[in-house]
């Protein structure tokens, strides 16, 4: 089984592309594995137990997606920090200020995907993509860290992907960076294939 997570809309946005992708791929079979698509709440307190339970299910790959409204490409996040910080707050209005996610956790954990191989494959297929080493301190970094912390002793591939808005959405808001939905789905499929081919 492969688990792919996205987020519900937040901060006035009507659409979250990560949710669209997770819902679109739910139930599909990619590289011989069935995909479970999960939409996470934009809530520190609600998302944590959900991600912990997803790790306990021991999928072969847990790939989380999140919206980065200003990014112009697919961003493979390599590192998650043990920090929750948001002065604007989540959808519940909760505003963690320089909080530690797990008291006994390391300051940072590296994702467990073959990032260099994936990046080469993505660019080889004409998908604009980069490695990123800071996923912020909002919910994207939060769920990534929660997943990596809980998967430390488990043989699970864990990764996070930041994506821009989808082109369909940008037709109404042409000033925002975007990529076609088909291209994002293609990128996710490449990430899955390369991760499972190079499984630990």
Give catalytic residues, as residue numbers.
77, 140, 162
DSSP string, the chain: -EEEEEE---TT-S--HHHHHHHHHTT-EETTEEEEEEEEPS-HHHHHHHHHHHHHT--SEEEEEEE-TT--SEEEE-EEES-B--SS--TT-----SB-S-TTS-SEEE--S-HHHHHHHHHHTT--EEEES---SSHHHHHHHHHHHHTTTS--EEEEEEE-EEHHHHTTSTTS-EE-HHHHHHHHHHHHHHHHHT--
């Amino acid at each position: 089984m492969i688990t792919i997570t996205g987020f519900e809309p937040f901060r006035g946005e009507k659409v979250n592309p990560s949710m669209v992708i997770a819902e679109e791929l739910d139930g599909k079979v990619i590289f011989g594995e069935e995909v479970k698509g999960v939409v996470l709440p934009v809530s520190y307190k609600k998302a944590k137990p959900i991600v912990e339970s997803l790790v306990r299910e021991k999928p072969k790959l847990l790939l989380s997606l999140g919206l980065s409204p200003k990014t112009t490409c697919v961003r493979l996040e390599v590192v998650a920090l043990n920090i929750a910080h948001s002065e604007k707050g989540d959808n519940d209005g909760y505003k963690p200020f320089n909080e530690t996610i797990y008291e006994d956790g390391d300051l940072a954990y590296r994702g467990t995907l073959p990032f260099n191989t994936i990046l080469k494959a993505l660019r080889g297929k004409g998908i604009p993509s980069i490695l990123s080493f800071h996923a912020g301190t909002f919910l994207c970094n939060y769920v990534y860290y929660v997943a990596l912390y809980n998967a430390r002793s488990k043989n699970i591939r864990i990764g996070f992907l930041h994506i821009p808005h989808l082109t369909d959405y940008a037709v109404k808001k042409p000033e925002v960076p975007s990529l076609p939905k088909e291209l994002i789905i293609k990128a996710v499929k490449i990430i899955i294939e390369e991760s499972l081919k190079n499984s630990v």
